[in-house]
Amino acid sequence: MPGELKRVLTANRLETGDVLWWDGSDWSTQIRDAVEIGPEGEALVADLLAAERVNDPALIDVTGGPGNWLPTTTRERVRASGPSVRADLARGSLSTEVI
C-alpha cells in the first residue's frame, strides 16, 4: 500500500556519535543503505543493546522504500541530515531541505 509506514533501525556510533543505519548485516552512515526491519526488530534492538557496540538503537517509522527512506519525524530527519548548527559540518545522508 502506498504511503504505508515501515521501520528502519538507527543508532549512534559509540566512539564518534555518528548517526548509523542498519543495512541488514552491519551499520552504514547512509540512510539509503538501511533495510526495512520486520517483526524481528525488537529482538535485534535487544541484542544490540547487550553487545554495547552502539548507543541508543531505535526502530523508527519511515516512508518511501529501499534507497529512498524518509523518516516521519522531524527529529529523525535532522539526524539523517547531519548537524543542524553548521551546514559545512553536515555529513548526513538526507538533504537539509527535507526538514
Domain membership of residue 40 (yes or no) is: yes
Question: For the chain, what is the domain count?
Answer: 1
Tell me, yes or no, whether 94 lies in a domain.
yes
The answer to whether residue 16 sits within a structural domain is yes
Question: Residue 20: inside a domain, yes or no?
Answer: yes
41 is a domain residue: yes
Whole-angstrom distance, CA of residue 89 vs CA of residue 17: 14
pTM confidence score: 0.81
Domain carrying residue 19: 6-98
User: Looking at the domain assignment, is residue 1 inside a domain?
Assistant: no
pLDDT of residue 81: 85
Quick check: 56 and 49 in contact, CB under 8 A?
no
Chain segment 28-79, per-residue pLDDT in tens: 999 999 999 999 999 999 998 888 889 999 999 999 999 999 999 999 998 9
In a domain, 54, yes or no: yes
pLDDT reported for residue 55:
93
**Residue 64: burial class (beta carbons within 10 Å; 0-12, 13-18, 19+):** middle
